[in-house]
Amino acid sequence: MSAQTKPAQGLPADDDAHTWTGKARRWMLGKLPPDKLLPEDQPSYVMSWAYVFGMGAIASLLWIIVSGAVLGLNGPQWYHVSSLGSFVNSTHLWSVELFFIFMVVHLWLKFWMAAWRGGRVLTWVTGMLSFVVSIVAAFTGYLLQTNFDSQWIAFEAKDALNSVGVGAWFNVANVGQIFVWHITLLPLAVGAVVVLHVLLVRVHGVVPPLEAAEGDAQLLDASPAPGHPPGPSHPLESANSQDSAEPRDAAR
């Protein structure tokens, strides 16, 4: 058997990939190279407030996960009796409300911007899917308040779920089952969809405004590479410079 030759460090031989791990690495690097995954520059239109609400929803989601983990580890008695537990429980609720406010504004803005343009259909679909799964997660959270409100909501919802035939698999009156849904399954689903959504944004780039005319190349800091003259920061500028150069050449 001949030993496989190892490429120089930092230069993987992707063309010679013969295992599924090597092929997966080649596919991932082709779809999402490091400069796309962690970019240093963003298009200048990202400075608009229209692009802030998505990050606000992610920041709220992070605090939802942290505060929810603290509440789950300490249990209902802690956040009903302890003043600190009541405060953490309140911040958990406030972060959920902020999360939905930011997400609704984000989705409406992206709808009016036609954010599915330029091959970004899956990005739009994952954004809507995260909103739908988040609604189910918030519903199970209301059921875990362990008070009269949650009891009333649970039995009203149980009648509705039984009427459509899914009450046997999603029993909202079973607190233990709802704990598993709210603390384990639904957060994993929301987190997975949000991570996929962010990765798709990195792959396809931030959607430009409708009036930007394919302005994905419009960088905030278009500093030229060493040894190269500075170029236009927008593809339209390149086209305009070429058009303006043609009459001068004709005049010569």
The mean pLDDT of 125-135, rounded to a whole number, is 95
Coil vs helix vs strand at 43 = strand
pLDDT in tens, 177-203: 998 999 999 999 999 999 999 999 988
Q: Delimit the domains of the chain by residue range.
A: 50-113, 119-208
Rounded to two decimals, the pTM is 0.72
Query: What topology is assigned to 119-208 in CATH?
Result: Cytochrome Bc1 Complex; Chain C (1.20.810)
Higher pLDDT, 45 or 149: 149
pLDDT in tens, 58-87: 999 999 999 999 999 998 889 899 999 999
pLDDT over threshold 90, residue 204: no
Pairwise CA distance, residues 113 & 32, whole Å: 24
pLDDT value of position 190: 95
Pairwise CA distance, residues 120 & 128, whole Å: 13
Pairwise CA distance, residues 91 & 148, whole Å: 21
- From residue 106, alpha-carbon distances to 100, 133, 189 in Å are 10, 16, 20
